A and B are shown apart, each in its own frame.
Chain A
Amino acid sequence: MKSRLRNISNWIIGAPSFVWLVVFYAIPIVLVFLLAFKPVDAYGGLGEGWTLKTILDLRNPSYPAIIWRTFWQGIVSTTVCVAVAIPISYQLARMNSRWKNVILLLIIVPFWTNFLVRIYAWRVFLHADGIFKNLLVAIGLIEESTTLLYNQWAVLVVMIYTYIPFAILPIYASAEKFDFSLIDAAKDLGASSFYAFRRVFLPVISKGIWTAVMVVLIPAFGAYLIPDLVGGPSSELVGDKIAQRVFIDRNLPHASALSALLMLAVFLPMLLGKWLNHMRRRRQTREGRT
């Protein structure tokens, strides 16, 4: 009786978030997938019936290069962000709380400035007459003719800049809970500092690392403002294409098909990873040890 009551109260407590998820998350996603199978009419609206035409249109010869670029930029920026965030979080977690708070504040402060403003700041910074460019020329690192802006490297740099805080925060949250006496214990058992870091610190905070990967990788795949503002025509990403299809071509089904493709690209590897992990764990239990 009591457990049934608790069940009911659990339902009541959970209901708002459930409704929220269905209305603002599940339904839109289903819509995106469905729209990909609708025809377009001449005025940019949706046509009658269903078609596979849009899906077949994805074979557009310009797409593979764009998709490839989206992937490697997403993966490189995620890798760099996480690789930078891990040592920063490690140090942050070991700091005394006064300095810790100051540095955390410094990491969060940029969020108070509008995202667009920050990207424009980068445009000024990397501009042909900007200080950074002039500095590099003065040192002799680059030629006067080199452009820092409007290429995929600019996109990558600004993406990394933008996403690093998103990587630091979840990793720091894990590292903060990490019991540093475990590092002492590992060293006591004969491990080098690096071995202790790799075999104890990293696995224990792995949840935070995976969260960081997801939190950076997903927006990186969908990025469109950054390549739009600091990239050139040769550095378009899938996100740019989706925006173009919606705003310029007014072809919602095509945009939906591209979005669905991106979603699957993130979701399927995640699923695969989960499954592999599950299989590994089952094998381990069966063997009894590793």
Chain B
Amino acid sequence: MGEFLRFENITKRYGQNTVLDNVTLEIQAGEVFSLLGPSGCGKTTLLRICGGFEPPDEGRVILDGVDITNVPANRRAVRTVFQNYALFPHLSVWENIAFGLKATGQDAKTILEKVPKYLELVQLTGYENRKPGQLSGGQRQRVAIARALINRPKVLLLDEPLAALDLKLRQRMLIELDTIHDDVGITFLFVTHDQQEAMSISDHIAVLRNGRVEQIGTPTELYEAPRTSFVAAFIGDTNFFEGTVETIEGDYCTLNIDGFPEIQLFNDKKVHRGEKIHVSIRPEKFFISAVRPEVTDAKTNLLHGKVEEVIYVGPHTRYWVRVQDWRVSVVQQHHGYGLDERRIKWDDEVWLRFGADNAYMLEHYAEVDEQLLALPDLEPEELEAVVEGGTQEVGSAE
């Protein structure tokens, strides 16, 4: 299937502030597409433009081949699940779900037929007489979803739909959303600042920052092949290294990182000798061991360092290993009880092994993005401040 929903060169300004800067996105029919980014990146504004609540200053929105840029909200085949759900407090669950049918003038028979079906879809049969005030957060959200889906929209917009729920419920609702999506087959446009949410539900993700698209791709592409240091740091955790290209042999090159032995690296960016580049290596791509492993393969790199910190979190253990001037974050999955890694403690000398294909070259690197990396002592608000501060600095550097 071809593109279904298309944002074409969307620009939106509030006064001096450019919220969206020439954003172009293509969304396929029936997929879950996420707009992911820190607060203030413009993702909600883009959603509101799609819903028809705000006009773009420039650009077009094309849905199913029709330019809907100037179509008012109530005439668009687009429905929204709002962040606070915006349920009608004076109406019962039944009336909330039936609202869209009544507002568009459908007859009583259709309403009587459809509402129970959608109550069932969101598992709220038996709750039809409750008022929104008598429902839990998860139930309210399900009402909002049923209400939005009942008119069979072409696109369902979800604005941080899980943000108001607690962690366990969020995980359950995420699975439920995925099930509902499979049931109805409607295109979902999902806005979130939570990379895990986006990763687990999306077919494609657009990472937005500062009103611009940083990268578009499948969750795997974004995670394994981040284009910039921002994407690498915002999605998951990683290590950044700066080095100079020494030699190039076929598809691989060797990289000289200060204090490291020579590193073998897959040369997907076609870099040249002497070029300074940044690479990202995910923590779980390292294998840690207390004894020096036998390396027979030329495409395997080996580092030697000292453990600075060990954090055991059940399924895996996180280590911070000092290798010369670098502090390398390593995550080791526990596949069995009492394996080698359990014996690694503070101040132990360890060996880190990683394959040449697991270090990824970045197109763009900004030092501020390092602040996005998992720092054990950063509160969420502080992290947000870092993100916003970071965007500004990057803006001025460009």
Contacts and interface: CB of A to CB of B under 8 A. Distances in A.
Interface in B342-387: none
Interface in A166-216: 179, 181-182, 184-193, 195-196, 199-200, 203-204, 206
A14 interface: no
A192 B90 contact: no
A188 B80 contact: yes
Nearest to B106: A190
A189 B79 contact: yes
Interface string B85-109: 0111110101100011011100000
B90 A203 contact: yes
A189 B99 CA distance: 7
A113 interface: no
B84 A189 contact: no
B72 interface: yes
Contact of B88 (A182, A187, A289): A182
Given A185-B80, A288-B129, A190 B86 contact: no
A290 interface: yes
B131 to A, nearest CB: 12
A204 B90 contact: yes
A191 B52 CA distance: 13
Contacts of B51: 184, 188
B74 A187 contact: yes
A195 B72 CA distance: 14
B104 A190 contact: yes
A181 B84 CA distance: 9
Contacts, number: 82
A189 B94 contact: no
Contacts of A199: 99, 102-103
B89 to A, nearest CB: 6
Contact of A188 (B74, B84, B90, B92): B74
B94 A192 contact: no
A187 B73 contact: yes
A186 B94 contact: no
A97 B99 CA distance: 32
Contacts of A204: 88-90
Interface of A is mostly: helix
A114 interface: no
B5 to A, nearest CB: 16
Interface in A240-288: 285, 288
Interface residues of B, number: 30
Nearest to B76: A188
Contact of B82 (A184, A192, A288): A184
B103 A186 contact: yes
A205 to B, nearest CB: 10
A173 B140 CA distance: 26
B148 interface: yes
A137 to B, nearest CB: 47
A189 B100 contact: yes
Contacts of A189: 74, 79, 99-100, 103-104, 147-148, 151
Contact of A190 (B82, B84, B129, B151): B151
B103 A285 contact: no
A188 to B, nearest CB: 5
A290 to B, nearest CB: 7
B134 to A, nearest CB: 13
A190 B150 CA distance: 11
Nearest to B73: A187
B312 interface: no
Contacts of B129: 285, 288-289
Interface in B108-159: 128-129, 147-148, 151
A203 B96 CA distance: 13
Interface in B27-78: 51-53, 72-75, 78
A203 B89 CA distance: 10
Most chain B CB atoms below 10 A, which of A184, A185, A195: A185
A287 B86 CA distance: 26
Contacts of A288: 94, 128-129
Contacts of A184: 51, 53, 73, 80, 82, 86
A289 B128 contact: yes
Nearest to B84: A181
Contact of A185 (B78, B82, B94): B82
Contacts of B147: 189
A197 to B, nearest CB: 12
B79 A188 contact: yes
Given A188-B79, A190-B74, 19 more contacts: A182-B88, A184-B53, A184-B80, A184-B86, A185-B87, A187-B53, A187-B73, A188-B53, A188-B73, A188-B80, A188-B148, A189-B99, A189-B100, A190-B100, A190-B103, A192-B74, A196-B103, A288-B128, A290-B95
Interface of A: 179, 181-182, 184-193, 195-196, 199-200, 203-204, 206, 285, 288-290
18 contacts: A181-B82, A181-B84, A182-B89, A187-B52, A188-B52, A188-B78, A188-B80, A189-B99, A189-B103, A189-B104, A189-B148, A190-B75, A190-B100, A191-B74, A191-B103, A203-B90, A289-B95, A290-B92
Q: Please provide the 10 A-B residue pairs with the shortest distance between their CB atoms, ordered closest to farther.
A: A191-B103, A189-B100, A185-B86, A190-B104, A187-B73, A187-B74, A203-B90, A181-B86, A289-B94, A188-B80
